[in-house]
Structure 1
């Protein structure tokens, strides 16, 4: 068995201040790891009374075609500069199941599904959308930063009715050269046409995050988990 598989590694965890009442599962982007977004937790200025626990898992290492087959942490392979072409359906589905297992773990610890948010940046955001919309119980919210909706053509057949009304926040940089904003906008439009509750924000930045974005995430989480 590959000892870098995510279930073999302990996620980075920031425990709740006081009583654990809610959970945020946050997936990193291609080539990063679970420590990547750890520093933003205090910057969101969440109220301690929310009792939010943050879980930052590590993706497994796998060869990435678009990077010359170099092995790196990735939730799935990227085979084309156009992310909607030659999608790695098997690994996307595998990562979606891994996300479901993380949600199940939080529920087993006594956190209701509607107090759990799934989030991610870039590839991680794509998996958060893929897995969150297919989860069998209602989630508090789905957050996608600088990402897109993978395997979009399968959503109608595979989506769970439990998350039809789950709030979705999508954020994107207008100058993103990695996942162009058009991909994010197309995903937003498809989700809205399918009846999902999507909030969209874009910013004058590349494939990254900015302080305005982090502040808005904090306000959004505060509303969802109150």
Structure 2
């Protein structure tokens, strides 16, 4: 019987423990799904924690190249996690759920379709991957973003939704008034319902 897993991807300067409460919350409603948290492959170069790519001196122009350069280690991390769980991308259902920089990498995996994903969740993210994007053919993604986010403006998720729909992805979005750069209870609940719908 095919297995199901959601891999949670933390933000820059964070670690796998920060998303474990979210994984536990989702697990309550989806006991048949494995929820996996992991550290990004690189130590954060400006403090404690880890990063998927360096943000030191990053600009809108340089960010896409950094994402591309991060793909090798990102893919290795995902494949190692699945091997540890005895899972296969070809036979099992896999979703990615990322926050901030983790969301950037999750959306990059979505638009390149390097993995056969069941869906993607982006919390407080942005789509900064270089175009062209692989056609989505209805693949689902949920974009959740606080309208008061001072780190990544919620308009980044609005722009991402527009581009993703143009590329054929099935996009749902939730923009939360008064919320900042965080994962709210309402956002976690919406994501739990999205996971159930994608996996079933």
In the superposition, the TM-score normalised over structure 1's length comes to 0.75
Does the alignment pair 1:130 with 2:104?
no
Does the alignment pair 1:56 with 2:37?
yes
1:129-178 deviations in whole A, cap 9, x for unaligned? Answer: 11232234431001110000013xx231xx445x5431010000010000
When residues 98 and 129 of structure 1 are mapped into structure 2, their CA distance, relative to the original with a 3 A threshold, is: same
Map of 2:12 onto structure 1 = 30
> C-alpha displacement at 1:118, in angstroms?
1.0
SS in 1 for 2:20: coil
Does the alignment pair 1:201 with 2:174?
yes
**How far apart, CA to CA, are the structure 1 residues paired with 2:25 and 2:45?**
33
1:109-139 deviations in whole A, cap 9, x for unaligned? Answer: 2445561001100000000011232234431
Matches within 5 A, 1:154-169: 154-156=130-132, 159-161=133-135, 163-169=136-142
SS in 2 for 1:38: helix
| Number of aligned residues | 194
> C-alpha displacement at 1:98, in angstroms?
3.2
Select the residue among 72, 85, 97 that pairs with 1:119. 97
Alignment gaps of 5+ in structure 1: 1-18, 65-69
**How far apart, CA to CA, are the structure 2 residues paired with 1:118 and 1:79?**
25
- Supply the RMSD in Å over aligned alpha carbons: 2.5
Q: Is the 8 A contact 1:127 1:150 kept in 2?
A: no
Q: Is the 8 A contact 2:89 2:115 kept in 1?
A: no
Select the residue among 70, 91, 100 that pairs with 1:95. 70
Decide which moves more: 129-138 or 163-172.
Answer: 129-138
> C-alpha displacement at 1:85, in angstroms?
3.5
Greater Rg over alpha carbons, structure: 1
Alignment gaps of 5+ in structure 2: none
**How far apart, CA to CA, are the structure 2 residues paired with 1:80 and 1:182?**
22
When residues 72 and 136 of structure 1 are mapped into structure 2, their CA distance, relative to the original with a 3 A threshold, is: closer
